[in-house]
Amino acid sequence: MFKIHTILCPVDFSDASRKAIRYTEEFAGNLSASVYLLNVVEPRPMAVDVSLNYVPFEADLEKAAKDDMEVILEEFHRKGFKAEYGVVIGNPADSILEKIEELNINLVIMGSHGKKGLSRLIMGSVAETVVRKANCPVLIVKSEEKEFIGDE
């Protein structure tokens, strides 16, 4: 028999990610597992914005992500879950895989955007990379799928 101690839930604030948070709450409650919420801020390419429009730097994006993650964390604590979060700057798939190792994660629950075709080829798939390389089970939650979690 195996025991799920810690669930990692990557959060990018998308619909799929918000759905993954709901799944994480359900699994954590049923398995008495702790939760680690992770947001990864991707570094911006080094380019000059000649239009002089404001382009947020990683530090600004990191601060905004922390503020948003605090709200999610408070909701987990309000519901009685043991949870914490982290915000890192880096490649999303690599950062998720590093956290799996660092925190000895037993289960990953993450959203997938379901990109297809050229978009997926160019952008890659964070979820696919994590599924292939993670050393623990990974549950992928799609934003456009039948939801199995309902209110009782």
Render 47-89 in DSSP notation, one character per residue.
Answer: ---TT------HHHHHHHHHHHHHHHHHHHHHTT--EEEEEEE
Residue 50: exposed, middle, or buried by beta-carbon count in 10 A (0-12, 13-18, 19+)? exposed
Which positions ≥6 away from 3 have C-beta within 8 Å? 31, 106
Residue length, the chain?
A: 152
Whether 1 maps to a domain, the answer reads no
Which positions ≥6 away from 75 have C-beta within 8 Å? none
Q: What's the pTM value of the predicted model, to 2 decimals?
A: 0.84
With a pLDDT cut of 90, the percent of the chain lying above it is 68
Whether 149 maps to a domain, the answer reads no
CATH code of residue 86: 3.40.50.620
pLDDT at 67 over 60: yes
pLDDT at 113 over 80: no
Whether 151 maps to a domain, the answer reads no
Q: In terms of residue numbers, what domain contains 72?
A: 6-45+53-142
Mean predicted lDDT score pLDDT of the chain:
86
Whether 118 maps to a domain, the answer reads yes
Number of domains into which the chain is organized? 1
18: nearest Cα among 138, 147, 151, 130: 147
